[in-house]
Structure 1
């Protein structure tokens, strides 16, 4: 280094003078940081003093030795974790660090000039301090981002654990209260459990973010996570999903302590909506008794045997009978409306309905027939195949 051999004593005097002014400079720097970087007001003075001590002593070592430590020798992980926890952005952390190094560099130049240090040494050590600022900034940025990722993963796991306990009913009352405080849930308000799966190419993580965004519109609250490849959580109101490719079940509103009951209902509703091939968010008012069709396959088989499979022996005509019976129920038993929509004569519809009654041994005017036949038709919508050798297979709506 220029002038190194003859500059040891003068350089040490400069370093001693700098050390004597460490805390005066540190006090001014602290006031400057809290004035110009608001996020640093959340950092206690004693912590700022500790990191100032670390930066200052490292800078003095660079001035003394004329070399900069390797990036891996900078231990900034504890500082990064603290700043992330306190919500200090990386940009603010880097601004604070560079202000600190600038103050140290200005102090060195002032003391070195006043004591007549060799100009070559001044230039060399000033360059070293610039390099220190660059190397340390890169290292600080790296560990800060690592700390952000670690913090995000921890928060995600903690949120998932809270929601899993809430939705499966394993949390104590105190845990529900503390979790609600952390995540901004109002214990005095009802919430609805939701369980959703993506329909298109979007993954569960992206679906979680989209649903949470939709759920929070209009001032609502939504807390969601990914559980078992599905998105699950609580919302205040039914989300408006727009073009989002999702199928979801939405449980009834309840207080948080009973959210597990709402979640069970949401699971049944999701299962039913998927079985019917539906897209969107569905609650019990949307699907009504059709949820039970999915949940009771044995009863569905019984009613299919009673009302629809007898038509299979009629071949294609049996399919036409089923079409007319379905229309008869859908259009309020108005035979003329059924005929109009099927583009056939009303007597054709009457004949098909009468033939249905003959084949099944039932009466379409009987209340039980309407209920049971609707159940059987809904089961047919689920893709329940015909049974037996006779007749063609009708896997969907005729």
Structure 2
């Protein structure tokens, strides 16, 4: 390609206040977010880029390292100022269009040939493409760095709160506001990142990986699908009061996982399950005393125990238990009679304590007999 005519550089000289002012106005007018920045801030970057373009024209259009560096600073600064990459590109494109119109108008006024102008436009277009790539890369890099920094600060805050360390100003959480503590066994950062939005979009809150698992403090509990990973939610507490719930919620999480539960579960609803899971010796004692007549190697006896446990899990009601087991209601009644013949229970009418003991014994016996 023919070397650009020296007059092109003169047309784009950054010393020309009209050129610089017009480019700044064009960028601020096209992009609302850029227009909200101080004019001096926009001018600082525009001057660096225009000077770089002018300098690059002297070398046949290869972007000078200094102008690439200036483009990178522009992208990085706009990311840290909260200007989206789309708004950044809108402002840059408006400035580019102004430069090209100015180049064409001044070139024709001064008698520069169309061929030389075309060469100049092609050269500038190639340079601006390289600058856009550098800006976008720097913008995205800065966004990732900020997200990582913010995520790490949130994780540190949650870690201090859950471990009971003094945190007098838990920003961005409000010290006087009560939050639900939510814990899960999700440890994959990618999965945790996908869950962070649903957990916090219902209201103000934080979510992060702490001690290798996804935890959150949220103002309101979200609606999650039933097949979501198991999460245990504690009643709302102020940030300084959540530490005692951490160990308890993790125990409930382990108990729920052993039971094959999924989705968001309230800590209180898992109270009996958590207590039973934490005292395996008591469970074996109950299983031995109440279900000693059952043979772990007999498949029919296992069916009897599974039916009785489903019956108790569904409020001692025949039809819901039958639906859960995919059998007829009469089958449930028959199996309960056979179990009572062998073991004496569970009684059709029993105290709360007796019902809990039978539920605990059946659950323990089934877990032992499946090994």
TM-score between the two structures when normalised by the length of structure 2: 0.78
Any conservation in 1 of the 2:234–2:245 contact (CA below 8 Å)? yes
Distance in 1, matches of 2:297 and 2:128, equals: 88
1:134 corresponds to? 129
Stretches of structure 2 that go unaligned for 5 or more consecutive residues are 323-328
Distance in 2, matches of 1:53 and 1:118, equals: 27
After superposition, the Cα gap between the structure-2 partners of 1:353 and 1:107, relative to the gap in structure 1 and judged at 3 Å, is closer
The answer as to 2:67 corresponding to 1:67 is: no
Which of 258, 263, 279 is 1:275 aligned to? 258
Distance in 2, matches of 1:228 and 1:30, equals: 49
Which of 357, 361, 367 is 1:376 aligned to? 361
Q: Secondary structure of the equivalent of 2:235?
A: strand
Distance in 2, matches of 1:227 and 1:316, equals: 43
CA RMSD of aligned residues (A): 4.2
Bigger-Rg structure (1/2): 1
Which of 34, 49, 52 is 1:55 aligned to? 49
2:325 corresponds to? none
Give 1:310 shift.
5.9
Distance in 1, matches of 2:216 and 2:47, equals: 46
2:289 corresponds to? 306
- How many residue pairs match? The answer is 360
Distance in 1, matches of 2:310 and 2:124, equals: 85
Larger CA deviation: 272-281 vs 121-130: 121-130
The answer as to 2:213 corresponding to 1:230 is: yes
Give 1:260 shift.
2.2
Distance in 2, matches of 1:313 and 1:242, equals: 36
2:326 corresponds to? none
Any conservation in 1 of the 2:224–2:263 contact (CA below 8 Å)? yes
2:142 corresponds to? 147
After superposition, the Cα gap between the structure-2 partners of 1:152 and 1:321, relative to the gap in structure 1 and judged at 3 Å, is closer
2:370 corresponds to? 395
Q: Secondary structure of the equivalent of 1:288?
A: helix
After superposition, the Cα gap between the structure-2 partners of 1:230 and 1:72, relative to the gap in structure 1 and judged at 3 Å, is farther
Which of 65, 83, 88 is 1:88 aligned to? 83
Larger CA deviation: 124-133 vs 51-60: 124-133
After superposition, the Cα gap between the structure-2 partners of 1:312 and 1:52, relative to the gap in structure 1 and judged at 3 Å, is same
Give 1:40 shift.
0.8
Distance in 1, matches of 2:296 and 2:148, equals: 61
2:184 corresponds to? 196
Any conservation in 1 of the 2:72–2:134 contact (CA below 8 Å)? no
The answer as to 2:32 corresponding to 1:38 is: yes
After superposition, the Cα gap between the structure-2 partners of 1:209 and 1:187, relative to the gap in structure 1 and judged at 3 Å, is farther
Give 1:196 shift.
2.0
Distance in 2, matches of 1:366 and 1:2, equals: 98
State the Cα deviation string for residues 254-286 of structure 1 (Å, max 9, x = none). 111212233333212211111111122222332
1:360 corresponds to? none
Any conservation in 2 of the 1:195–1:230 contact (CA below 8 Å)? yes
The answer as to 2:342 corresponding to 1:352 is: yes
The answer as to 2:172 corresponding to 1:179 is: yes
Distance in 1, matches of 2:197 and 2:121, equals: 51
Q: Secondary structure of the equivalent of 1:302?
A: helix
Any conservation in 2 of the 1:326–1:377 contact (CA below 8 Å)? yes
State the Cα deviation string for residues 14-60 of structure 1 (Å, max 9, x = none). 62884442x33333333333333111134332221211111121122
2:222 corresponds to? 239
Distance in 2, matches of 1:274 and 1:322, equals: 21
Any conservation in 1 of the 2:229–2:262 contact (CA below 8 Å)? yes
2:191 corresponds to? 206
Give 1:93 shift.
1.6
Larger CA deviation: 58-67 vs 319-328: 319-328
Stretches of structure 1 that go unaligned for 5 or more consecutive residues are 181-185, 358-363, 386-393
Distance in 2, matches of 1:173 and 1:33, equals: 44
Any conservation in 2 of the 1:300–1:375 contact (CA below 8 Å)? yes
State the Cα deviation string for residues 218-275 of structure 1 (Å, max 9, x = none). xx34432234553211223343222433211112211112122333332122111111
1:389 corresponds to? none
The answer as to 2:23 corresponding to 1:29 is: yes
Alignment of 1:114-129 (within 5 A): 114-117=109-112, 120-129=115-124
Distance in 2, matches of 1:352 and 1:59, equals: 92
